Structure 1
Amino acid sequence: MAAGDLTMGMIFLSQTLTGILGNVSLLSHYLYFYLTGCKFRSTDLVIKHLTVANCLVILSRGVPQTMAALGMKHFLSDTGCKLVFYVHRVSRDVCICSTCLLSISQAITISPRNSKWAELKLKAHRYISPSTISCWMLYIILNVMVPVYMTGKMKDNNITEKVDHGYCYAMNSGKHLTLFHAAQVFFQYVFFIGLMLWSSSFMVFTLHRHRQQVQYIHGSNVSSRSSPESKATQSIFVLVSTFVSLNILSFIFHISLTVFKNPSLWLVNIYVLVAGGFPAVSPYILMSHDSRVPRLCCAYTRNSKCPT
């Protein structure tokens, strides 16, 4: 085994283990909250769906890519390749959709009661569950053609134009279908990232204005560093900036793999690393800004008064 392959395998293994540990820890905390009688926040359902999608992204791409980098290149059959890439594509798109939905839900939640969002704010919790389910259903349907263009390395074929993922081949779908797929991915990224930037900007503006009002009322005794508004603003900046930066890079590499003929394996490996970045780090970002997680206690319970 070449030193480069071993290094890449260790990098994939580290990212995979880090992502699995983070997402499983976040899910276990929600299980703990449920067993101890916590009253969940309106955005917690979206986070749980996002965490499940993150786990599927890591398991369906990080694990096979790690095995391939370590020299095991023929462990998946043709059917296995089709299933793995289909699950990865669906979960990756749900991850993007859920992050956008989380951002919009937070924006509606913190909107002032006297704003034009007041009526929607009262009904927003009713639409969260149908919206998350719709994300899964939509991308299960839209990605139904993905397995058609995937094939295993164990299958004898004479494919001249293909993308070698190390353990599976992605066949060229033709010029017109390739351009259609590239356009679909482009508009999807632009739409969701645009919504996220808009909702996040609205949240930052709302929190900043609220902090100014609090400081005006209480004077200089209010610490801008330790205030809940500052922590929420920091969480928004970190989560959104991480999502946008990594997904823009992922989009660039994804389009490169779609357009280029027979791209090199190192380009595929870089794309997989970048694409797996957000699912691996997002649970740590969410846990680090959730006051319920570090203390392992319920901030809001069904049968007791909510502490501040």
Structure 2
Amino acid sequence: MASRDVAMGMIFLSQTTVGFLGNFFLLYYYSFLYYTRCTIRLTDLVLQHLSVANSLVIVSKGVPQTVAAFGMKQFLNDFLCKLVFYVHRVGRGVCIGTTCLLSVFQAITISPTGSRWAELKPQAPQCIGPLSILCWILNMLVNTIILQIVTGQQNRINNTKEKDLGYCSAVYINNGIMTPLYVLLFSSYDVLCLGLMTWASGSMVCILHRHKQQVQHIHRTHLSPRSSPESRVTQSILVLVSTFVSFYTLSSIFILFLTIFPNPDLWLVNTSALITACFSTVSPFVLMGRDPRISKIYYACYEWNRKFSKLIGCL
């Protein structure tokens, strides 16, 4: 086994481990807030769905890439290849949808009174749960086409045009008018979500800028310059959206290269897979780093352990 393959395998293994643990801790953290009835935000439900989708992307992409990098190429049969790529596509689609939903909801939440979006504030909290479930159902239905395209290496057909994906193969199926419709459906979903994210992010930046200008005189009176909870949540979502758009753009470029080249090199396939899982790996740490409730819970647990240890020492 070449040293380059070992290095790539270790990179995939590290990314998978760190990303899965980060999303698991984030999901556990939001579940802890819910069951202990601590301070809960309306966006926490969307972030729970995002954590689950991130975990699916990391596991379905990172684990097979790690095993393949260590030399096992044909370890997945036809059923597992279809399952792995289907789960990855569903998780990726839910990541896009939930990030879009998160940014649009926050833009509606902080919209000033009198704007046309302020009328949606009463209905927005009730729509979060159904829209999140709808996002899962929509992606599970749309991505069934993956079950026809992806096949295992053991089931390769010589008279069919195929593309080697490392541990699985992609079969080009000519279904007449259905193939352009599937491409249009996939691309329209991504374009719609990215368009809504761009609009929501731009709206939030404008609202925060106007709010900062309106309260500048407060900062000159030696009052606390700390921003409001709504502003901190908005800034966190803006960081999350910008992170997503950056990694999504890079991932789309590499996917385009994979589509154009008939027989892409292995380094291109591995780099594309690595970048595809970057957002799912980084996003939980971005969210945890900007959520002040985590430090409060950590401090409370530390104090509880200190008092418990002191009590045990006195017995």
TM-score over 0.5 for the pair:
yes
How far off its partner does 1:184 sit?
Answer: 3.8
Of structures 1 and 2, the one with the larger relative CO (CA 8 A, separation 6+) is 1
For residue 186 of structure 1, give the secondary structure of its aligned residue in structure 2: helix
Structure 2 match to 1:195: 196
Work out the number of aligned pairs and report it.
Answer: 298
Distance 1:14 1:89, change over 3 A: same
CA contact (8 A) 2:96 2:193 kept: yes
Letter in 2 for 1:255: L
> Corresponding residue for 2:133?
133
Who is 1:92 aligned against?
92
Q: 1:159 to 1:269 in 2, by over 3 A?
A: farther
Alpha-carbon distance in 2 for matches of 1:13, 1:184:
33
Q: Which moved more, 1:141-150 or 1:249-258?
A: 249-258
Does the CA-based 8 Å contact 1:159-1:171 persist in structure 2?
Answer: no
- 2:149 and 2:115 mapped to 1: Cα distance? 49
- The separation in 2 between residues aligned to 1:175 and 1:181, in whole angstroms, is 10
Counterpart in 1 of 2:101? 101
**C-alpha distance in 1, partners of 2:247/2:196?**
16
**Structure 2 residue 17 is matched with structure 1 residue 17:** yes
Aligned residue for 1:263, secondary structure, equals coil
CA RMSD of the aligned region, Å?
2.4
Point out where structure 2 has 5 or more consecutive residues left out of the alignment.
300-315
Q: Which moved more, 1:20-29 or 1:156-165?
A: 156-165
Q: Which moved more, 1:174-183 or 1:192-201?
A: 174-183
* Distance of aligned partners of 1:230 and 1:35 in 2 relative to their CA distance in 1, 3 Å threshold: closer
- Give the direction of change, closer, same or farther, for the CA distance of 1:66–1:103 in structure 2 (3 Å limit): same
What is the letter of the counterpart of residue 253 of structure 2?
A: I
Q: Where do 5+ consecutive residues of structure 1 fail to align?
A: 299-308
Q: Are positions 1:69 and 2:78 aligned together?
A: no
Give distance in 2, aligned partners of 1:182 and 1:43: 31
**d(CA) in 2 for partners of 1:173 and 1:294?**
52
Q: CA separation in 1, counterparts of 2:64 and 2:197? A: 31
Distance 1:192 1:82, change over 3 A: same
What's 2:166 paired with?
166
Deviation sequence 1:222-268 (CA, Å, 0-9, x none): 576x5347645642442122111111111222233234322222211
8 Å CA contact 2:102–2:237 kept in 1: the answer is: no
> Which residues of 2 match residues 242-281 of structure 1 at below 5 A?
242-281=243-282
Q: Which residue of structure 2 aligns with residue 283 of structure 1?
A: 284
**AA of the residue aligned to 1:120:** L
Does the 8 Å contact 1:164/1:265 carry over to 2?
Answer: no
- Tell me how far apart the structure 2 counterparts of residues 9 and 175 of structure 1 sit (CA, whole Å): 37
Normalised to the residue count of structure 2, the TM-score between the two structures is 0.87
- Give the Cα separation in 2 of the matches to 1:199 and 1:95: 16
Supply the distance in 2 between the matched residues of 1:37 and 1:223 (Cα, whole angstroms): 28
Taking the aligned partners of 1:180 and 1:110, their CA distance within structure 2 comes to: 37
2:278 partner amino acid: G
Distance 1:130 1:237, change over 3 A: closer
Larger radius of gyration: 2
Contact persistence 1:178–1:259 (CA under 8 A): no
The answer to whether the 8 A contact 2:106-2:234 is kept is no
Match of 2:49 in 1: 49
SS of residue in 1 equivalent to 2:173: coil
Q: Using the TM superposition, name which of 226-235 and 239-248 deviates more.
A: 226-235
Of 163-172 and 255-264, the range deviating more from structure 2: 255-264
Aligned to 2:142: 142
